[in-house]
Amino acid sequence: MTRENMKYNVLKAGLISATLMFSMVSHAAVQSLDKVSVIVDQGVILESEIVELVDGVKQGAIAQGQALPSDRALRTQAIERLILKNLQMQMADRMGIQISDPQLDQTIENIAQRDNIDINELRRRVEADGMTYENYREKVREELITGEVTRANVRRRIYITPQEIATLVDLINQQGAEQAEYRLGHILIALPSSATEEEITKARDTADRVVELLNNGSDFTKLAIASSSGPKALEGGDLGWMNVNSMPTLFAEAVNGEKKDALIGPLRSGAGFHILKIVDSRGVELVEVEEVNARHILIKPSIILSDQKAEQMLLKFKADLIEGEADFAKLAKEHSEDPGSALKGGVLGWNDPSIYVPEFKEALSRLEKDEFSEPIRTTHGWHLIQLIDRRMDDATEKRKEDRAYQLLFNRKFSEETDTWLREMRDAAYIELLDKKDL
C-alpha cells in the first residue's frame, strides 16, 4: 500500500468515525468535535488524546510543585509518547497480544493491595483525580499490553556472555557489602539512527546549551520536559533509584564517585547526547534474600478452552490433589503448557520470587510449605501453584552469578528498549496533520 493510499484510508476511517460522532452530539457541540491530529502507520492519534495527556502532565506537575515548559514543548513531548504507544499497540494487534478482563481485574486488585486499599477506595481515588474508572481500566490494560510487546521484542535481542557475568561478579566482590545507588535525572538530545555530521553537530550544540542553562540555575525538570527525547521526559527526566550495576554502562562509569547534585555530560551514545544530574545517592547493604522452590501447572485459555473452563480445570486438579487422588508431577507432565517446567513435573527450582510476574509472586507469598494456591490468572494463563519450600539465600557463588546475570539483563534491557523504540519510530510512517505541530 502506498503512503498516499495509507493516508487516504486512515483519514477515511477518521471521517467515518467523525460522522458517527456528529450524529450523537447536539448542534451546539459541533465546534468541539474531535479530529485526527497524527497519522501513525495504520493508526491515528486524536486531538483529544493529546489534550488529555498534556492536561494530565500539567495536573501532576502542579500537584508536585514542578515547573513546566511552554505548552508547545509539552505538546511535542505528548505527541511523541502517544506515537510510541500507538506503534506498540499496533504491533500487539499483529502479534495477537491481548489482556483479558479476568487478567485485568487481577492486576487492578494487586494494585489496590499494594496500596493497602480495597477496589472501592481505588475507584474513589481514580474518580477524585478526574478520570472515570472505565477509562482507568483501559489505561491499565494498555500498559500491560505495551509491556508484553516490549518484553517479547527486546528479550530476544539480549545476549549475556559468561565472561560478562564473571567480570561483574568480581566487581561485586570488590565492592563488598555496600552497593551504590543513585537517583538520576536524565535529558537525552536524540540523534536519528543514521545521523549526518551536521545532525550530530546540531545535537551536540543543543546539549551544550542545555548544560549551560543548568549550570546557570535553570530548573532540570522543566528543561527535561521541554528538551529531552528520553523515555521519562514527561516525568521531568526522573529515572528513579538505580543500582550502579543495573544502569546503562555509560551512566555507571560516569556517575562513579560523583556526589549529589552533580551535573554530568553531555555523554555520547548511539541514541544521542545524555545529560545526567545526581538527584540523590545512597549506599545499599547487601542482605540475605528469601528464595522459594515451587512447582506449577499452566493452562492457557484458547478459542477452544475458555477462561472459565481453564480455571475450573485447575480447581478440579487441586481437589484431586488434596484428596490424594492425583499426583502433581504427573498432572504437570500431562497438562502443563509451560515447556520449561512441564517435563520436570512442574518444578521451577530455587528462585528469587521477584523474577515472577506480580500475580504469581503475590500468590507465592501467601502460601505455606506444601500448600496449593487457588487458580490464578497472569499474562501467561491460569496457574495452580504449590510451594515446595523457602530458604534464606546465603550469597553463595551461584547466587552471585545469578545476581550478576539479572543486573546485566536489566542493564541491557534498558539499553535495548531505547534502541528498539527508536528503530520502530524511525521505520514508521508518521504524518502531523495540525500545522502547529510541524
- Confidence band of 179 (pLDDT split at 50, 70, 90): low
Please tell me the predicted confidence (pLDDT) of residue 397.
72
Residue 345's closest CA among 368, 321, 312?
321
Strands of 43-46's sheet in order across: 43-46, 36-40, 430-432
Please tell me the predicted confidence (pLDDT) of residue 82.
94
For the domain covering 3-155, report its CATH number: 1.10.4030.10
Cα dist from 215 to 128, 223, 224, 263, whole Å: 39, 12, 14, 8
Q: Is the pLDDT of residue 108 over 90?
A: yes
Please tell me the predicted confidence (pLDDT) of residue 8.
39
For the domain covering 290-392, report its CATH number: 3.10.50.40
87 or 282, higher pLDDT: 87
pTM: 0.54
What mean pLDDT is predicted for residues 140-152? 93
Please tell me the predicted confidence (pLDDT) of residue 24.
37
Give per-residue pLDDT as tens, 27-66. 344 445 689 999 999 999 999 999 989 988 888 888 888 8
Q: Is the pLDDT of residue 148 over 80?
A: yes
Please tell me the predicted confidence (pLDDT) of residue 414.
86
Q: Is the pLDDT of residue 200 over 60?
A: yes
In sequence order, what are the residues at sequence separation of 6 or more whose Cβ sits closer than 8 angstroms to the Cβ of residue 286?
Answer: 177, 178, 179, 395
Q: Is the pLDDT of residue 84 over 70?
A: yes
**pLDDT, mean over the chain:** 86
| 293 neighbors 353 (Cβ within 8 angstroms) | no
223 vs 211: CA distance, rounded Å? 10
SS3 176: coil
54 vs 114: CA distance, rounded Å? 28
189 vs 214: CA distance, rounded Å? 14
In sequence order, what are the residues at sequence separation of 6 or more whose Cβ sits closer than 8 angstroms to the Cβ of residue 204?
Answer: 189, 266, 268, 273
Return phi, psi of residue 44, to 5°: -140, 160
- Confidence band of 394 (pLDDT split at 50, 70, 90): low
Please tell me the predicted confidence (pLDDT) of residue 325.
93
378 vs 364: CA distance, rounded Å? 13
What mean pLDDT is predicted for residues 130-140? 91
Q: Is 353 exposed, middle or buried (0-12, 13-18, 19+ CB in 10 A)?
A: middle
- Confidence band of 248 (pLDDT split at 50, 70, 90): confident
Cα-only R_g, the chain: 25
Dihedral of the alpha carbons of 248, 254, 258, 262, in degrees to the nearest 10 = -90
What mean pLDDT is predicted for residues 186-209? 91
What mean pLDDT is predicted for residues 299-315? 93
- For CATH 3.10.50.40, the residue range(s) in the chain are 178-287+404-427, 290-392
Give per-residue pLDDT as tens, 318-364. 999 999 999 999 999 999 999 989 999 999 999 989 889 999 999 99
What mean pLDDT is predicted for residues 311-319? 96
Please tell me the predicted confidence (pLDDT) of residue 396.
61
Mind giving me the DSSP string for 299-349? E---SSS-HHHHHHHHHHHHHHHHTT-S-HHHHHHHH---TTTGGGTTEEE
In sequence order, what are the residues at sequence separation of 6 or more whose Cβ sits closer than 8 angstroms to the Cβ of residue 183?
Answer: 238, 239, 240, 241, 242, 278, 279, 280, 281
User: Which grid cell is 21?
Assistant: 460522532
Please tell me the predicted confidence (pLDDT) of residue 33.
62
Q: Are strands 272-285 and 381-392 parallel, antiparallel or unpaired?
A: unpaired
Return phi, psi of residue 16, to 5°: -60, -45
CA 403, 409, 413, 419 torsion: positive or negative?
Answer: positive
The residue type found at 187 is: I
Give per-residue pLDDT as tens, 109-120. 999 998 899 999
Please tell me the predicted confidence (pLDDT) of residue 243.
83
- For CATH 1.10.4030.10, the residue range(s) in the chain are 3-155
User: Which grid cell is 60?
Assistant: 501532576
CATH fold label, 178-287+404-427: Chitinase A; domain 3 (3.10.50)
